[in-house]
Structure 1
């Protein structure tokens, strides 16, 4: 009937409508399969989520409520303004590192000891022995079991062989006594540990505000501890500032005494050196150096004036040479203080006369009287400009000679001063060295003196750089347990665990539950599903049962021979079918066509209980042993194979359909014990109990049964669960719901 059973790879692909079309190998996300998987695992996810909520509720009911009080502290830079008014040093802006350092100070054990001493928490029995919730009790129970095991696994510390004091120890103790610390854990230490465990310190955003929170089972005590932390922190700031300032003052005074002596010695050495070498200072410089500086400055100015006068004289001489060469003189340079500046008026008159002359010549010619008058005026103006140019040239020459004489005089004076009053190079170097040493000691002394003044002012103005802006109040509502958050987390974690469990259930191999799975994963034809006894009460289950029986009957009738009867072997895959004999009898009734055809049901073993009377109306039943016994009684003694052949011929000749009800295939001792009777076979597979690989392996062990296999049927199906595995809108799903 069918091809040999093949092992098929399970992939996430879309089902094909036709079996002969093959499978689509391209990867594709089957949304329908995912929705069906979600629908199947939804009860598990909901159960886990409800379990998570229940656990959260139990934890909430078993928890001891805690109350959190918050003290808000500002790292106030403006509060140091009073100190800044009397201090030359500006107040530094706090960086992120400085704020984090302040937070660590608040969390420190030193500040915790101050709070314990302030509030006497080491004497409060309720604080030292707080009530425990369910979580704490469970942790203690676990610790009581794990701590001894951990102690057993932890090696003992090494023990010194000579524990007594040695000679070197006694010598060291005599020379410098080693301090003895008390390492015993007291109630004060336990109070500090509890205090730090319940303390929370955080920075508000990027501001300079620090929030100090404390949680306790008593709201009043929580507020007291939070306020105690604020007061202790403020006191710590004042004490630290005074202590640092006092130590700095003592150190600065010691250094000032040393610097004062060194500064006096350096100044005295400088003055003695000047007196011995007659090095007089005027306005901070030596007298010779001041004279040389003034002469050099005047010489530079004189040289610049001389160069300017020389350039002016050269320009005038060039213009005079051009004028003597009968070239037009447009302008005469003006020398301030030497020649009157009339060249601009003469130049304009000369230019206007020239333009008028050319215009009259162009119109009337050179013989015109007006042209002759203008020509004479132009000659007069040219002579006047030439005379003015000669005067300006002579004046520029005089100015140049004066500038050169002054420059030569200053240069001679500077050379005379430099050559006659030059100090010894070694003396000048030694003088500069002594001046540098004296100035350095003086500057260092002034800096230390300013720092000492600042330190003394800080001691006189003990202002803390912190300010409590929101004192802690008694909390009204508990901060823990957070009921809504715990319920949400319980619901979320429960749902997540349920989702993971459901995903794992979907990923592991699943038993056969639908006709399409049997077709795709095993490659077998399936007539349908037979509902279990509990599902036969509704009309949909009855219709499914009737439809499946009808499909089985049609498969049998399609293989019926025209002359001889058809031998049909019906075998369950495993034991455990709830209605073992109902299917063969119902199928026999359908094949008998209300008694028009003879149908025989042969049982491999006699049924242990009576068969239903309604199923025996139109069919005949017999056990295999009785049938073989009748053949042996009516025929001569022969072999078993001859008896089976005779029985087969008689059954084919006398009955249209012979249904052989076999034992389960997985329980049969032989491979194919009734191969002689197989015209076609029907396999009964229990719904939701066997994997596809189990079906394939069982058929491989029964090759004759597998070759004659016509179709299969899924029995004892739970239709309510089966709908979760069917594609929405598929023919199979519509038939079940119908």
Structure 2
């Protein structure tokens, strides 16, 4: 078998599968591919950015200039503190939530109505009918066109049953006197325009609020901004006065009621005391005061009794020791006149005792002076004993007196306590009545104080806000912001271009380079055949010539039959072969080596029988004419021509026969002589065929698949094709050398 026919191409590996066995875990970002994609899609991004800039310029030119004036207001914390000092209803602390509340107050419809009335804007036709730019008209037209679609997509209103409808009708009949006028007046329109063009913001984390108004007239914008600041300041004063007035009215009503309730509660206390005989002395009941005094005296009497008892026990102990024969040296003080006598006797006794011991030690007990001193000592002891007995008796009498007084006080306190226990319920009720009376009196005093302060605050000329920077007439228009809009248009258009480019890059890519054919189809590729046009560049001519040379070398290397080689130029899809110079250029290249070359063009209907020297050194003929020369009706395979005779004739008369075959994707057989081709060259339109289609078409034609020698990309735009090649790669250098 022919070695070319034994060549088999494997297409079992699916497209985009890495040939080195790497899995998804080896994913890496290929920056070179990203750069190539960016280079390829740069025109799209640039065009979209340019379109965005053009639209931005159109919006700028179609917009009416607007002027913004800003009024700066300070929420004065010191004034708020002053108000808190003189007001019974303190102002709110200037927290973040309170400042945001002030912002919403400025944006409110009530303040807008005050500004309208202050400036008479409801009668200003220029204000009520502002100019409309082309941009606003376009947006209004778009909104008008999309409104039916929005209504169609909105959910239907819930159906109401008959009972609820009747109830609503009855309610409307009852409230006929409270009909609300829903007609839009010029005042309402003016207030709505004010709120639409008003901007209120807090300056960072400070207590400063900026009130801005944007309009078509700079002078009117400044007037409106100033009016907002003045109206807001006056609003604060009016609200404070109104709140104080309402509070004063309410407090006055409550004072009348509280005064009556306080008087009734005090009268109830006095009446209850009179009915139950409860006498009050220095703020306390008489019985309670008596109990307190008796208890105090009882405690003091108990202490006196205990002291008298202790003194008596001490004296009795001394007396018992004297009865036992112990000498008595001293007697406790009694606090009376006898204390000095007892002290003198004690000194005499001690002096006599000391002299007696000295005499006894020197002369003995029988000495006359010792005997005399002993008698004197005995007399002194007898006198001291008598004094001790008298003091003891006096202490006993004092103890009995103290004990009797304590018992008397205890009995009196018990009697008073028994009487008080019998009136516990009465006293409890009295305490309740007194508590009620005290509560009403305290509330009345507090409300009376609040009423007086609130009455004075109604005319207090201090507001907690202050205008620190009045609005000035703006020098220039604040919108349209030309630079910002132009930059936004460029960025938005560029972003849309990037999205379009990403979508184009992420979609399945057609075959555009030889490396893609080798990687996706596992098929060799000879190169590119650029688009041929009038005045083609020298680079395109050089690229075409190199590709044709490689195709010729493939034919010479893989052909080489002595009887002649039949080469099939197989297009993958149908395209206009008249625009391609590949068959003619390849035939011309093969004919340079004095080989006999025949080019069979399937689109040429003229019949040329074995011509001599053809154009450009090769011979051309048409497939129809070639088949007609060998037409027959007696072939066993049912074909209307003799294939073997045609092949024998071609091999005998030509070294190379180039036949333009039918497209693989358009026929079951890609040519009438498909069974006798020695090798095939696959012609792939540049940028028009995806790998899946090429792989399926090749697999569907096994005869062509077995004879495929190489492939070629036709119709490439040379400058565009370079963007799909890796910069500096062999493919790029080989193509663009």
Q: Which band: TM-score by shorter chain?
A: 0.7 to 0.9
Structure 2 Cα separation of the partners of residues 666 and 204 of structure 1: 71
Match of 1:107 in 2: 107
Match of 2:63 in 1: 63
SS at match of 1:576: coil
Whether contact under 8 Å (1:242, 1:462) holds in the other structure is no
Match of 1:368 in 2: none
Change (3 A) 1:727 1:300: farther
Match of 1:673 in 2: 672
Alignment of 1:267-666 (within 5 A): 267-293=266-292, 296=295, 414-415=413-414, 417-419=416-418, 424-534=423-533, 537-561=536-560, 563-577=562-576, 582-595=581-594, 597-606=595-604, 616-628=615-627, 643-666=642-665
Deviations 1:249-279 (A, max 9, x none): 2222222112112211211221232234343
Deviations 1:640-695 (A, max 9, x none): 58832122123223332222233444455745421233111112111112222332
Change (3 A) 1:27 1:637: closer
Match of 1:249 in 2: 248
TM-score, normalized by length of structure 1? Answer: 0.76
Q: CA deviation at 1:490?
A: 0.9
SS at match of 1:213: strand
Supply the RMSD in Å over aligned alpha carbons. 4.3
Change (3 A) 1:608 1:266: farther
Match of 1:709 in 2: 708
TM-score, normalized by length of structure 2? Answer: 0.76
SS at match of 1:673: coil
Deviations 1:122-163 (A, max 9, x none): 111110110112221113323444557778999999999xx9
Change (3 A) 1:252 1:628: closer
Match of 2:194 in 1: 195
Whether contact under 8 Å (2:511, 2:686) holds in the other structure is yes
Q: CA deviation at 1:308?
A: 13
Of the three residues 2, 5, 22, the one matched with 2:8 is 2
Q: CA deviation at 1:556?
A: 1.2
Whether contact under 8 Å (1:598, 1:655) holds in the other structure is yes
Worse-superposed segment, 116-125 or 701-710: 701-710
SS at match of 2:443: helix
Match of 2:230 in 1: 231
Structure 2 Cα separation of the partners of residues 167 and 133 of structure 1: 46
Change (3 A) 1:556 1:262: same
Change (3 A) 1:102 1:640: closer
Match of 1:315 in 2: none
Aligned residue-pair number:
640
Whether contact under 8 Å (2:606, 2:625) holds in the other structure is no
Q: CA deviation at 1:96?
A: 3.2
Change (3 A) 1:671 1:257: same
Q: CA deviation at 1:707?
A: 1.9
Structure 2 Cα separation of the partners of residues 308 and 131 of structure 1: 111
Change (3 A) 1:601 1:276: closer
Structure 1 Cα separation of the partners of residues 173 and 547 of structure 2: 105
Structure 1 unaligned runs (5+)? 312-336, 338-397
Structure 1 Cα separation of the partners of residues 420 and 11 of structure 2: 126
SS at match of 1:513: coil
Structure 2 Cα separation of the partners of residues 563 and 35 of structure 1: 50
Structure 2 Cα separation of the partners of residues 310 and 710 of structure 1: 143
Answer yes or no: is 1:124 the counterpart of 2:130: no
SS at match of 2:463: coil
Whether contact under 8 Å (1:671, 1:701) holds in the other structure is no
Q: CA deviation at 1:501?
A: 0.3
Whichever of the two has the greater Rg, that structure is: 2
Structure 2 Cα separation of the partners of residues 65 and 23 of structure 1: 62
Change (3 A) 1:65 1:411: farther
Change (3 A) 1:470 1:420: same
Structure 1 Cα separation of the partners of residues 80 and 621 of structure 2: 113
Deviations 1:91-124 (A, max 9, x none): 5423333333322222222221111111010111
Q: CA deviation at 1:721?
A: 0.6
Structure 2 unaligned runs (5+)? 1-6, 311-334, 336-394
